[in-house]
């Protein structure tokens, strides 16, 4: 099953009836901004090539992706069913409660829709699509805003965030680093006092 995002080729508004008359069944309007929107149509595997030809013939701007890489409407509920409180941000380890936690997709939905490389990563990781509970992580608002739809270091931090050993070692390293700075400052202060 595929989802087609259809946009009007010109600046004119496109309506659902326009698409229905041209053979698209049940177009759903999706708002993408204050005044911007597009239509989504679900298409079976057997109708994929026919739909692509229809879009080209009608000069519609389109983008399609596999349905397993689309954002689900129930991913928050699935996350809360799978994981029990207390929650900690996967990226910074801040304590969160059920009201402040933001359920984040470790592999972003936007990248999963557009990048074949990311789609292969999802499949090779054994995930059942982008909304699999193993791809959902607790996040604080600050980290979620910083991460956006990036992967890179955020993906690594999210994977490491599962491990309690990682957080213990990270805390220990920070403590040792702080102690070293304090010792350095004390020795510099002692040096200047002895002069």
Residue range 43-95, pLDDT digits in tens: 888 888 888 888 888 888 888 888 888 888 888 899 999 988 889 999 999 99
Confidence of residue 173 (pLDDT cuts 50, 70, 90): very high
Half-sphere exposure in the Cβ direction for 35 (13 Å, CA): 3
Percent of the chain at pLDDT > 70 equals: 95
CATH of domain 75-162: 1.10.30
Tens of pLDDT, residue by residue over 120-132, are 898 898 888 888 9
Tokens 């993906």: give the residue.
Answer: 155
Confidence of residue 143 (pLDDT cuts 50, 70, 90): very high
Q: Measured between alpha carbons, how far apart are the two ends of the chain, in Å? A: 78
Using CA atoms, how far apart are residues 33 and 78, in angstroms rounded to an integer?
27
Q: Which fold has domain 2-69?
A: Alpha-Beta Plaits (3.30.70)
Confidence of residue 181 (pLDDT cuts 50, 70, 90): very high
Tens of pLDDT, residue by residue over 38-57, are 788 888 888 888 888 888 88
Q: What is the mean pLDDT of residues 171-185?
A: 93
Cis amide bond preceding 86, omega within 30: yes
Distances (CA, A) of 60 to 8, 9, 56: 6, 5, 6
């Amino acid at each position: 099953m595929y989802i087609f995002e259809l946009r009007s080729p010109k600046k004119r508004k496109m309506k659902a009836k326009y698409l229905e008359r041209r053979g698209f069944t049940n177009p759903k309007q999706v708002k993408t901004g204050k005044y911007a929107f597009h239509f989504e149509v679900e298409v079976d595997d057997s109708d994929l090539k026919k739909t692509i030809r229809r879009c080209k013939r009608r000069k519609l701007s389109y983008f399609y992706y596999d349905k397993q890489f689309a954002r689900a409407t129930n991913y928050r509920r699935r996350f809360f069913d799978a994981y029990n409180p207390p929650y900690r941000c996967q990226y910074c380890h801040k304590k969160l409660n059920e009201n402040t936690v933001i359920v984040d997709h470790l592999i972003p939905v936007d990248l999963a829709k557009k990048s074949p490389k990311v789609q292969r990563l999802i499949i090779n990781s054994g995930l059942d699509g982008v909304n699999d509970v193993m791809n959902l992580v607790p996040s604080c608002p600050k980290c979620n805003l910083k991460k956006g739809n990036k992967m890179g270091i955020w993906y690594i931090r999210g994977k490491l965030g599962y491990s309690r050993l990682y957080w213990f070692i990270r805390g220990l390293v920070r403590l040792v680093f702080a102690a070293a700075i304090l010792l350095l400052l004390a020795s510099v202060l002692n040096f200047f006092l002895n002069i």
